[in-house]
Structure 1
Amino acid sequence: MGAQGLDGVAMLAATSAEVAGANCATGGTKVELGPDANRNGVLEPGEVNAVLTRYVCNGAQGPQGIPGATGDTGPQGTTGPQGLEGVAMLAATSAEAAGANCATGGTKVELGPDTNRNGVLEPGEVNAVLTRYVCNGAQGPQGTPGATGATGPQGTTGPQGPEGLPTVAATTAEPAGANCATGGVKVELGPDANRNGVLEPGEVNAALTRYVCNGAQGPQGTPGATGAQGAQGVQGTQGPQGIQGTQGPQGPQGPSGALAAYGDGSAGALTVPVATTLDLSNTGVVNAQPFRTNTQFTSINIAGTLIVPSGTVLRATGTVTVSGSITVAAGTEDTGNGPPQPGIARGVPGIFHGGTGIALLTAARLKGSSPAAGGAGEGKLTDGNGGAGGGSLLIAAQSSVSVPVGGSISANGTNGVTTATTGDFGGPGGGGGGIIVIASKGNLTVGGTIRANGGAGGNAVNSNGGTTGAGGGGGGGGGIVHLISANPISVTGALQANGGAPGTDLLVTPVGSNIAGSGGGACGGDGGDGGGGTAFTGPAAAAQAGTAGHVIQLVTASPENVL
């Protein structure tokens, strides 16, 4: 093996809001990629490769949902700033003769804006569309005469005076303006010159005109007790979008509910810089961290290397970005004493036969938090060690998860290792792949690689030739990769749950006795059978690769309900 090469330049990603336009009809997110030339873990403008820029667009707006029940009335908000003074609306009335507009005559009411703000509605300001007519009612029938009152005492006869005219009044609504700041009623008075009982425009004495104005609005009263909720009304048509108000103060923390799956962010941000390794499978390293065993982060940014033990759950209230690598340590092992640990598999591997994996629907229900995931391969204490089964990892983010180009997450089974060097020995089986579950309430994009592959079987040993041979170990079954998002999932990289390759056979053919190789561990896929067979005569079976596991992509509005 040659000397280790120089570290490659990591690929970084940066996201920014994309306004509605040519790239996204309804707006969305712009994703820029480029090499981290100065290795500072930040994608700078000069490092952006425009060819790799992608846009994750918002979907079209869905239909109007059914309105929920009316909530309790909130507290009185603070008074907003004084709005700009509008142009007042004025009114003018005039007598309307009997005719097409009023069969018995009446009053013509004209309205319009006070454009020159002189308080008088002038002919050029009249809006004809708003003109209305208040018509006199038809003459009513003669009422029943009242009873004759008692005759009063004779008064002293005074001098003959001139006949006086009765005074009549008329009232109209007065809009808010110069006469009444809050609006009110206009009262006009004048003599009934024609003695018809109606105050006509020519009879109005302007000097006697008065205004009865509405009072200023009083302070907010104490809210009354909440009444019983009325029956649901018929849904009305949607009104126009109102102007967005200023944002109010943040309300109190509500109950976590299902969103508790994303944690509370109490551990702060987790960052592993470029060229840095953080091994959380080491107890001493964990105890040295400020968060210790609390893995509820606000955000996760892995630009270097993060190693976690099997069964780890990483939660984030914000975003998760893996531009470096996350490696999940093995979850099961073969100690050589007794059957190997099967993990989640339905069947344990043995001499010759591989383990049995689980069905797709079963795999889709796993949460990725069990320490025992992929099954270990079978091995013999004197011949070699079966491969360890891949571990499990759950990542849950309330915002977006990104594994850009160059980033990787791995939970692979390990290879079976043959320790014997002389004699006839079958190879040990490879470990089954592990489990990786990633849930995102936002966008989930994979430009890098996510692997849960089975390990390869160990090679057979046949150092003395003759009529006895040996079979290689079976490959480990593929693991489970499960991606869950509230939005369409973007995968331009690789999702792998492949079975491991078989070990090398050293069989005696076509007729002979062959020592059997051991079977591979299982997970989502079956472990491969070992080659050869015990006391076998005739054509020997070759060692088999593990079968592929399960790669699942699920889009659901509430990923937290699946966890």
Structure 2
Amino acid sequence: MTMLVLVTGCDGIELERLVRQHPPLTRLEPEPAGTNCVHGGHFVRTGLDLNDNGVLDDGEVTVTQYACVTAIPGVLMRVQDEPPGENCTEGGRVYRAGQDANGNDELEDSEVSRQVYGCASSAAVVTRVRPREPLLFPCGENGAVVEAGQDQDGNGVLDDSEVRTTSNLCVLPSEVRLRQSPAPAGAACPTPSTQVDVGTDADADGLFEDEEVMSSMFVCQPLHTLDGNYRVRNAVDLVALEGISRVRGALYFDAGAATEAVLPDLMMVEGALEIVDTSLERVEMPSLRLVGGPLTVARNPALTTLTLGSGSRAPLWVWGDFSLISNPWLPTLAGVSAVLPGNNIVLRDNDALEGGYFTFTSALLGSITLEDNAKLSTLPFRHLEWLGGSLNIIGNSSLSTLTGTVLQKVVGDLVVTDNENLTALSGMPALTSIGGGLRVRDNANLRSVEGMNELTQVGTLEFDRNPALEAAGEFPKLARVTSGMRFNANAVLKDLWGLQKVQNSGFLFIGNNPQLSRLMGFDRLLSLQVLTVENNASLTDLSDLALLQSVEELFVLSNENLLRLDLNALESVTRLFTVTENPRLPTCLAVSLAARVNTGGAPEIRGNDSSSPCD
């Protein structure tokens, strides 16, 4: 066995230096409020004092981080750079938050209860151009949709889930020209972004020049991205989110959140954003530019301040519905005026809501519901021209007119129901077309329908149970009613004058209007599928239907003072002929009319005056 022994002298060794532990040191520098710490704090450098001079020199620093104060007493946060790796492919930051349990104004490792990674992302911006659906506002037959966003999956194609901004042009897709350029932080994006100019080569010189740009879109570059859904249950969860600029998922605020949620850096939530059933009094996200799903603010009993987006500076794109429901102390829409939804808007049961409007909403594919907002006195859509769904105005007790829009076309229904102080339908002077029904019901003080003087076509015209309505025919240009007309249970209705341009329709129902004595207004009506005249106590004859020639189904029912039919121009009733329970109408008049015009089954004639002779 051989043993090797190395022996050296001891003169060159200082044993004290071999065993000494160099003390750790910390160096603090004030950090102003800004990107690193929303509310300010300290820039912290730590390391070992290797040269034992009592000072942490730059070469001795091994860890740097920010110790941030917060707006919530007792909650602290640390921010530290995260190198590229498993947590963040391109690097980023890690945010650690927790309660200062021992009150030493330092967030210790044992006090951290929420840790969030905000990762860098450098995906390229890609675009696509597609045809716009025909006949959609404002382009008519031809139109193009230009879309842009980051190519997050790196496949070189803009997928549906990657679209972040859109622009609509009234040109063929093949005519669209695009160009990209870097843009500094500004109104459109609070961080540097990519500007996408959109237009056409108007002078056909093969160049896309500045004067040919029709609009510009901006794809914002998020600085710190949180992957996955995030739920704010308490104050610590909220603080940990302060440095995040994009949530690549949904963001939920729950009941246990703090009374204030101020997130100045948050630019994008790529899923749903829900602020529901919380104790929040103030919510501010002024940099928000995109919500990739529905945006819901509902049942927040203490909420008085709501700021989402930058007001008139740039739109807040919402790819789903925007719902503002049951926030009893929220006074204004001013803080959400930038919201531009892709589908529906619902404003319901917000008792204090009375001011503000939607700045960027000129056309909306979905529907709008304004319901039970007690102080709302005007419609908050002063730029709205085209609505692809329905407009439902229900139970807004301070609304006296329909002012507040520049609507030209409603593709769905216009529903006006149970607005107790509405006195007229004035306020929509540019409205020309309602594809569904104009349905006016249960408005206690509605006296006139005057105000829609440009309306030329509607699907259904319906006035039900408006107890103060005296005149319901004031539509001087209305010529086309495709489905039908209904005038039912309007207690003081006397006049239908003003519908003289309507010649053909599906049905006409006139029923339960006790003071209606004439049908003036229908004197140019030529044909109907169904005519029903029922329980109109003051009506004595139908002579105002002087030109009516053809009806598929005729119902004259329970009109207690009807004396004559006088449908002298009527030539055919092709399916059903029913005249019943009109106690003063001579039966022989009904029999005579049936013999002349009925070509369907056996007529039903009963309950009329069988004793009076016919002239």
Q: Which has the larger radius of gyration?
A: 1
TM-score normalised by the chain length of structure 2: 0.20
Structure holding more strand per residue? 2
